[in-house]
Structure 1
Amino acid sequence: MVYQKTESQHRNDIIEICKRVHANGWVASNDGNISIRTGPNTVLCTPTGMSKGYLTTDQLVKVDMDGNKLEGELEASSEVKIHLDVYKNKKGVNSAVHAHPPYSTAYAVAGIPLDQCVIPEIIVSLGSIPLTKYGTPSTAEIPDSIRDYLGDHNAFLLENHGAFTIGGDVYQAYYRMESMELFAKISLLAKTLGNVNTISEENVQKIMDMRSNWIKDEDGYAGCRIDGKFIGAAGSQAGPGGSLPGGLNSVSNGNGSSSSRTGENTAAAASGDDMITIRKSELIEIVSKIVANIVNK
């Protein structure tokens, strides 16, 4: 249990991760924030207005679960409320990392979730990475936008903002950020080469069968997407109330929210019309190919 470490060890761990995110180029100036829940009602976090690359252990701030400062000369990050909300709403989470890694943040700005079944390691470790609805920084809007996804996700793209990851300890939260950024980079590079090749449903099922022997999810698992269909841990499209807010009969509006298509599909079937659903990212890809073909003629 993460609480078993001493406060001094927790402070050293935060500073180590601060140095890593700074060295990786995931934060600029005073960007980002990191925290560890050190006890039932105590959280250590990075201060506001300080570069993560040059922080020292004595500059960290201790707050309670309501954000009241308990110890420290500096003020806690204004975005610590995101961390506190996660600690209150998801069991087993004791650390959170928020940064602006360029490739992940590019997807967040483009309004595209990282949810395709592309890389086995990502399918196992993260499943899909949702795009949460835009929230004004330092307000309750961001924790509100994340909360609906907490049950099935541990990594999040914050629309037009950055990335956020959580874990049982600060290293797990950091490694999830590392994995997400690599996934985003590979996905973008593959797009520039002309194609993102998804793994077949049969092979995804093999991966998820192995995963079920390695990882026991207390809070669910969202799986990943193939051709508009989410493949869950059981190898089938999740049903209503499953891994995605709004259920599986939902499509992204491009702003992190979802809208139900169930009634529309039923009406279309009754009238004999065929209805398809398409994600914003897929539409962009189709239009881009059409434009490229026109230009090359």
Structure 2
Amino acid sequence: MQHQAEREEIVDAVADLFACGVIPPSRQATFSVRLPDGDILITSGESSHGSPAAQFGLLAADGTLKDGSSSALSASMIPIHLAIFAAQPGFDAIAHTYPPFTTAFAVADRPLVSRYEPLLRAGQRNEISVVPWSPEGGDTAESIRKIVASEPGNRATLLANNGIIAYHSTLHELVQLLIAIEESAALELRAAQLGGVR
């Protein structure tokens, strides 16, 4: 099996995020990593054997399927992953999922302000903005590409009525970022119950 080490690394990341409650009980998530040769290893996004990383596809940088089944891949997410990789050569790991507190901001069409210290430490210095979600992925991909290309302090984007897509240099840093975003979203909502942030 090609790229076994990278596959195992993704499976471990999914398990860690599920244990933290960042990946929801439905276990829906799509992860991708850029390999040293420029190809992209991407998960199916479907729940299978308890892990959304159970099925993989191998894509060329232009999205051409090189290995795996195209029917198992999330067609709407592929253009978004490709756009991020093309816009920022320094980002080699991407995840799309539905963390409960974070997704509440996406459903409310409300940006998430970056003020929680672990979130800033994870590299997210800008407000996490919301972009319209398109099931076809193309319009959404272009909106996110512009954010990634023009905002170097940005590591994530909320998808309206959908979830979040996050991107970082390594899979380990991506996992830490997603945990910090979900913690930040939960704290923002709880602070609002106490009268808002100061």
State the TM-score, normalizing by the size of structure 2.
0.85
In the aligned structure 2, how far is the partner of 1:82 from the partner of 1:56?
A: 18
- Give the paired residue count: 190
Q: Bigger relative contact order, structure 1 or 2, given CA contacts below 8 A and separation 6+?
A: 2
1:48 is displaced (CA, Å) by 4.7
Residue 56 to residue 83, structure 1, CA distance change in 2 (3 Å): closer
Instruction: Kindly indicate whether residue 77 of structure 2 is the aligned counterpart of residue 76 of structure 1.
Output: no
- Deviant stretches of 4+, over 4 Å: none
Q: Where does residue 172 of structure 1 map in the other structure?
A: 173
Instruction: Kindly indicate whether residue 42 of structure 2 is the aligned counterpart of residue 45 of structure 1.
Output: yes
In the aligned structure 1, how far is the partner of 2:155 from the partner of 2:22?
A: 22
Larger Rg: 1
In the aligned structure 2, how far is the partner of 1:87 from the partner of 1:37?
A: 8
> Does the CA contact (< 8 Å) of 1:69 and 1:76 recur in 2?
no
Residue 159 to residue 194, structure 1, CA distance change in 2 (3 Å): same
Instruction: Kindly indicate whether residue 124 of structure 2 is the aligned counterpart of residue 126 of structure 1.
Output: yes
> Does the CA contact (< 8 Å) of 2:22 and 2:182 recur in 1?
no
1:67 is displaced (CA, Å) by 1.7
22, 38, 41: which one aligns with 2:18: 22
Residue 196 to residue 169, structure 1, CA distance change in 2 (3 Å): same
Partner amino acid for 1:50?
S
Partner amino acid for 2:103?
T
Could you report, residue by residue, the CA deviation over 1:156-175 in whole angstroms, capped at 9, with x for unpaired residues?
21121111111111121121
1:83 is displaced (CA, Å) by 1.0
1:143 is displaced (CA, Å) by 1.1
Could you report, residue by residue, the CA deviation over 1:139-166 in whole angstroms, capped at 9, with x for unpaired residues?
2122112122113311221121111111
In the aligned structure 2, how far is the partner of 1:37 from the partner of 1:138?
A: 22
Note the aligned Cα RMSD (angstroms). Answer: 2.2
In the aligned structure 1, how far is the partner of 2:49 from the partner of 2:162?
A: 18
Q: Where does residue 161 of structure 1 map in the other structure?
A: 162
> Does the CA contact (< 8 Å) of 1:96 and 1:165 recur in 2?
yes
Q: Where does residue 194 of structure 1 map in the other structure?
A: 195
Instruction: Kindly indicate whether residue 13 of structure 2 is the aligned counterpart of residue 13 of structure 1.
Output: no
Could you report, residue by residue, the CA deviation over 1:8-35 in whole angstroms, capped at 9, with x for unpaired residues?
2111111112223333252343622001
In the aligned structure 1, how far is the partner of 2:25 from the partner of 2:135?
A: 16
Of residues 160-169 and 124-133 in structure 1, the stretch that sits farther from structure 2 once superposed is 124-133
Could you report, residue by residue, the CA deviation over 1:125-148 in whole angstroms, capped at 9, with x for unpaired residues?
311232232121342122112122
Please list every run of 5 or more consecutive structure 2 residues that lacks an aligned counterpart in the other structure.
Answer: none
State the TM-score, normalizing by the size of structure 1.
0.58
Percent identity for Structure 1 against Structure 2 = 24
Residue 155 to residue 52, structure 1, CA distance change in 2 (3 Å): farther
In the aligned structure 1, how far is the partner of 2:98 from the partner of 2:52?
A: 18
In the aligned structure 2, how far is the partner of 1:136 from the partner of 1:17?
A: 27
> Does the CA contact (< 8 Å) of 2:14 and 2:53 recur in 1?
no
1:91 is displaced (CA, Å) by 2.0
Please list every run of 5 or more consecutive structure 1 residues that lacks an aligned counterpart in the other structure.
Answer: 1-5, 198-297
In the aligned structure 2, how far is the partner of 1:84 from the partner of 1:173?
A: 17
1:55 is displaced (CA, Å) by 5.0
Could you report, residue by residue, the CA deviation over 1:32-51 in whole angstroms, capped at 9, with x for unpaired residues?
20011113431111125334
Instruction: Kindly indicate whether residue 84 of structure 2 is the aligned counterpart of residue 99 of structure 1.
Output: no
Q: Where does residue 108 of structure 2 map in the other structure?
A: 110
1:61 is displaced (CA, Å) by 1.4
> Does the CA contact (< 8 Å) of 1:82 and 1:142 recur in 2?
yes
In the aligned structure 2, how far is the partner of 1:137 from the partner of 1:110?
A: 18
Residue 154 to residue 38, structure 1, CA distance change in 2 (3 Å): same
